[in-house]
Amino acid sequence: MADTQGVTVHNSIDPKKNFHLDVPAGKTVFHCKGSDNYDWGMKDRLSRIFNPKSGNTLMLAFDHGYIMGASTGLERLDILIPELAPDVDVLMATRGALRSCVPPMYNKAVALRCSAGSTVLSADVTNETIGTDIEDAIRMNASCMAVQTFMGTEDEKSSLTNLCNTINAGMKYGIPTLGVVAVGKQMARSPQFFSMATRVIAELGAQLVKVYYCEDFEKVTAGCPVPIVIAGGKVLPPDQALTMAYRAIQEGAHGVDMGRNIFQAEDPKAMAQAVAKVVHENYTDKMAYEFFLDTKK
Ligand code: R5P
């Protein structure tokens, strides 16, 4: 019970209290695209992902093990992640990697890989289910849940069902869903496909979308009403990877979810820092590459 000792009830409000009657009630504009109408918890989690100052995010993707085991550069997560965690905003990983190798006291946002069910040993990796459910996402304090979609493949419906089920569960508890546009082996990486797929994911209710960078990218981002982050893809020379990140941000992306171009770089930490300069500090690709060359060991 509240301590009422010393509190006297009067007919009028104590004149010493200051209600700042000359100051209008505070209003804020939320910094994430398309997110004004979400609930507080959802916005709090999005703010952990997207830096409120820059509006952007740098996610470190190291969830590759869920389909391919220990890929090059990710053999020892317990060594790599402590090196890179300070330089990124979000750790994108599986629950197994997080629980076994990543100390929880980093206090980083987590993009939790939730879809699962195929490996590179199968003909195609499109046949997935939900491997990590909402209860475990809550337990892991996930800032968002990542689900792969495979539009245009025979697993289109099941992957979109995985996405919708995850969004529905996330809406109950205020956890955003990251819908990932994956490209089946037979699919072209065309701007038309990426434009359609990102819009479909947003319309189904995902709060953020991940897609590859492509030609006409500003049209892809303009047509997607929620923030887009780009996937890194196969390793490029560092100057080209930084140019891709720079163009993506200039053309409306709100972040980079990069794996191999960071952890397989000559100096992963210098590369993570250089990408962060592009994402958060308006560095051009040339400035970021110079930073990389000056910083790398
Ligand atoms: C897809 O979402 C994958 O699991 C990776 O997270 C994604 O491919 C990003 O990694 P990378 O930059 O190596 O392509």
User: Going residue by residue through the chain (297 aa), what tens digit of pLDDT does each one get?
Assistant: 566 666 677 789 999 999 999 999 998 899 999 999 999 999 999 999 999 999 999 999 999 999 899 999 999 999 999 999 999 999 999 999 999 999 999 999 999 999 998 899 987 888 899 999 999 999 999 999 999 999 999 999 999 999 999 999 999 999 999 999 998 776 778 999 999 999 999 999 999 999 999 999 999 999 999 999 999 999 999 999 999 999 999 999 999 999 999 999 999 999 999 999 999 999 999 999 999 999 998
Q: Is residue 202 in a domain?
A: yes
Q: Is residue 107 in a domain?
A: yes
Looking at the chain, how many residues does it have? 297
Q: Is residue 195 in a domain?
A: yes
Dihedral in degrees, nearest 10, Cα atoms 171, 177, 183, 185:
-80
Q: Is residue 221 in a domain?
A: yes
Which of 115, 257, 263 is the best mutation target for the ligand 1 pocket, counting ligand atoms within 8 Å of the beta carbon and taking the most? 257
Q: Of 109, 99, 274, 251, give the one whose Cα is nearest residue 178.
A: 109
Dihedral (CA of 191, 196, 199, 205) sign: negative
pLDDT reported for residue 6: 64
Residue 92 CB–ligand 1 contact under 6 Å: yes
Q: Is residue 32 in a domain?
A: no
210 part of the active site: yes
pLDDT reported for residue 69: 93
Residue 268 CB–ligand 1 contact under 6 Å: no
Given the residues 33, 43, 108, 210, the one annotated as active site: 210
Q: Is residue 12 in a domain?
A: no
Question: What ligand 1 atom has the least distance to the C-alpha of 61?
Answer: 6
pLDDT reported for residue 189: 85
For 166, the token pair is: 């995850």
Dihedral (CA of 128, 79, 73, 261) sign: positive
Residue 213 CB–ligand 1 contact under 6 Å: no
List all residues 6 or more positions away from 157 whose beta carbon is below 8 Å from its beta carbon: none
Indicate the residue type of 178: L
Ligand 1 midpoint to CA 222 (Å):
23
Residue 89 CB–ligand 1 contact under 6 Å: no
Ligand 1 midpoint to CA 180 (Å):
9
E strand spans, 114-171:
115-116, 129-130, 144-149
List all residues 6 or more positions away from 258 whose beta carbon is below 8 Å from its beta carbon: 58, 59, 60, 61, 231, 232, 241, 245, 275
Is residue 272 a contact partner of residue 262, using CB atoms and an 8 Å limit? yes
Residue 64 CB–ligand 1 contact under 6 Å: yes
pLDDT reported for residue 205: 98
Q: Is residue 23 in a domain?
A: no
Q: Is residue 209 in a domain?
A: yes
Query: Based on the structure, what is the number of domains in the chain?
Result: 1
pLDDT reported for residue 125: 87
pLDDT reported for residue 188: 78
Identify the domain containing residue 220 by its residue range: 53-237+254-266
Mapped onto helix, strand or coil, the DSSP state of residue 197 is helix
Mapped onto helix, strand or coil, the DSSP state of residue 51 is coil
pLDDT reported for residue 117: 87
Ligand 1 midpoint to CA 282 (Å):
24
Domain CATH number, residue 133 = 3.20.20.70
Beta bridge partners of 113: 146
Question: What ligand 1 atom has the least distance to the C-alpha of 263?
Answer: 13
Residue 98 CB–ligand 1 contact under 6 Å: no
